[in-house]
Amino acid sequence: MTASSLNSREKRAAVSLASVFAFRMLGLFMLMPVLAIYGQQLEGFSPLWIGFAIGAYGLTQAVLQIPMGWLSDKIGRKKVIIGGLCVFALGSVIAATAESVQMVTLGRALQGMGAIASALLALASDLSRDEQRPKVMAVIGMCIGMSFAVAMLLGPIVAASWGVAGVFWLTAGLAILGIFIVLFLVPNAVSKAPKGDTLATLDDIKQLIKHPQLARLDFGVMLLHLTLTTVFVALPGQLIKDGLIADHHWYLYIPVLFLAFFLMAPMMIVAIRKEKEKQAFIGSIALLVLSMLAMSLWVDSVIGIGICMLVYFIAFNFLEATMPALVSRIAPANQKGSAMGVFSSTQFFGAFLGGLLGGYVAQVLSAQAVFAAAALVGLIWLILAWNMQVPPRSKIISLMTELSSEQQAQALASRLVALPGVIEATVVCDENRSYLKINDKEFDLDQARKVAGLI
């Protein structure tokens, strides 16, 4: 087994943890294309309450994401993950048996309280070597993306046969399946990855909020997911008005999502190879704005909505794939965990705000106004992102180091940052770790290990 390949333990960890992630996200995503339609049968129905129900999980996720990561560091990753899946399943059962939209909203909020994303990612880090960690995270990221497409297919089909309750019962079943995967398939971690790679700290969070480039990305991902949930408050009902019956909505969603993915991929490749990442990023936000503006004007045509959604999801997929990588590249070498924690929390908070915005505008005005509001949100983001800076492509790795004083740590950091390919070096005495931000085309891992006294 070469150092450049995942070993059997890392492959098992990547596949099993990605499955847990995918099953959980599948349950959350399946509701988006159906609740606005089938939720009309619930007591107390109103567009505002539907928006609140769609976005409620985002609020509790945003609040609890970082604390659950801290808790996993104290009592163990698997305990927190299993506990979170139990809470998620409980919320699903409450929503499945609910007769009012208010109880559905409570169930969704409980689902969000099972905020296990940070603990799952921390466990994935614990179970992978430094140099292989990006590959494990990539597998997890791909499965999350695939779960969205599958949810757009399954949600309308399940709801057509068993209603919203059927979607929630399936969600509860997937959560229970996730528990069994964690218990019997996910390997046990014998060590913890460095905190700088996985977990947020209060001191880091305070610094990162003030970081202008990271703040742009955090605010941007909040607005991105705000537009997504805003759109799905009004989109399903509008499709029915335009003549596409509810159990045929997947006829539109699936071709749009898969075509958007295949059109986005070459766009990303060209942006990276030609070093035009900023232009592609700004252009994607502009596409998002134009797609929502066009949909607000083309709202009475299923074909028109389909074309607009295709453009929207090309932009959405590019931004969703690009932004975490930019956060990792911009974040200080020893604060990646904190940076990603803040990023994830603002992402979920955006889902909550989007539900509220979409529900309020749909209730007071119309579906057309909902799409126009999403376009306005995108325009605000475009203005804020215009002066963003895209740093050189880099990776972050960490090395074990055993030092007895801050003076030794500073001396080692100076030697490490002088190595070819090292962009930034931070040595943390308390953790016995050196964090390096590197250009992997120029970086020699063995040379760094030699300087750190590991060879």
179 vs 184: CA distance, rounded Å: 9
What pLDDT, on the 0 to 100 scale, is given for residue 1?
37
Is the model more confident about 321 or about 198?
A: 321
CA 295, chain centre distance (Å): 25
* Band (181; pLDDT cuts 50, 70, 90): very high
pLDDT bucket at 121, cuts 50 / 70 / 90: confident
Q: How far apart are the first and last CA of the chain?
A: 20
Provide the CB-side half-sphere exposure for 301 (13 A, CA).
11
Which has more confidence, 134 or 86?
Answer: 86
pTM of the model: 0.86
Query: pLDDT band at residue 128, thresholds of 50, 70 and 90?
Result: confident
Determine whether 444 is exposed, middle or buried from the number of CB atoms within 10 Å of its CB (0-12, 13-18, 19+). Answer: middle
CB-CB contact of 238 with 362 (8 Å): no
Q: How far, in Å, are 75, 94, 175 from residue 87 at the CA level?
A: 17, 11, 9
Spatial strand order of the sheet with 422-428 comes to 395-400, 433-438, 422-428
Pair type for strands 395-400 and 422-428: unpaired
Task: Give pLDDT tens digits for 35-85.
Answer: 999 988 899 999 999 999 999 999 999 999 889 988 988 898 999 999 999
pLDDT, the chain, mean: 88
pLDDT at 242: 94
